[in-house]
Structure 1
């Protein structure tokens, strides 16, 4: 058994792309003067949609389905308050600059998002559309 199989490598590629998108939105938006709560919601919508499509088709080799997309977005929605709370701690309380706080937050959310992605994209695989 390989230590890191192809599916995990594909997941890591997608996670890296999502992390980059997320950090561009957070760091760029902060530089433009936007607050992290609104930026976090933007990240949820933009990165969540990209992540579902990427992981469904490329990582897990599944068809795109509205039911799976909604399940995925529902699942990661519960990570949104955690993300905002952690950003509050990192950015407001600890005082980290956004260029450090955003990547730190991204790393903390990867494991949770992997579990949600795996569940949503393989949900009800045998069912007809």
Structure 2
């Protein structure tokens, strides 16, 4: 039974993560198209997608009850992922002059493994 649950976690993470990635990309790209600077758009997206991600990954991906300590760990790892995403965006957009519409999905894909690993640790730690 436990093996079945663990075996499907990456696929369930992919579904929940893809939803969050879509929301993130829509927010950042739309906001920048409306004239909002990409750093502000990243903060806006973080504020929207992080709570959604925690709820999806707690209930669906890892099938765990929500708790304050899990939320705190999730937020900590999300902040670290946000910093990584921001650094990638600065490198791509400001340094290499890649348009936000291209840089946002690239940064999202590059952070996928970090996001899965950190979400799994945040929600399942101490089980």
Taking structure 2 as the reference length, the TM-score comes to 0.90
Report 1:3-42 matches (<5 A).
5-42=7-44
User: Hey, what does 1:89 align to over in structure 2?
Assistant: 91
Instruction: Please list the CA deviations of residues 56-85 of structure 1 after superposition, one character each: whole Å capped at 9, or x if unmatched.
Output: 100100001121111100112112222111
User: Hey, what does 2:121 align to over in structure 1?
Assistant: 119
CA contact (8 A) 2:38 2:100 kept: no
Report 1:51-66 matches (<5 A).
51-66=53-68
Structure 2 residue 75 is the aligned partner of structure 1 residue 73: yes
Distance between the aligned counterparts of 1:109 and 1:77, measured in 2? 12
Distance between the aligned counterparts of 1:84 and 1:52, measured in 2? 20
Taking structure 1 as the reference length, the TM-score comes to 0.88
Q: Which runs of 5+ in 2 are unaligned?
A: none
Worse-matched range after superposition: 91-100 or 59-68: 91-100
Residue 26 of structure 1: CA displacement? 0.7
CA contact (8 A) 1:36 1:84 kept: no
Aligned length: 124
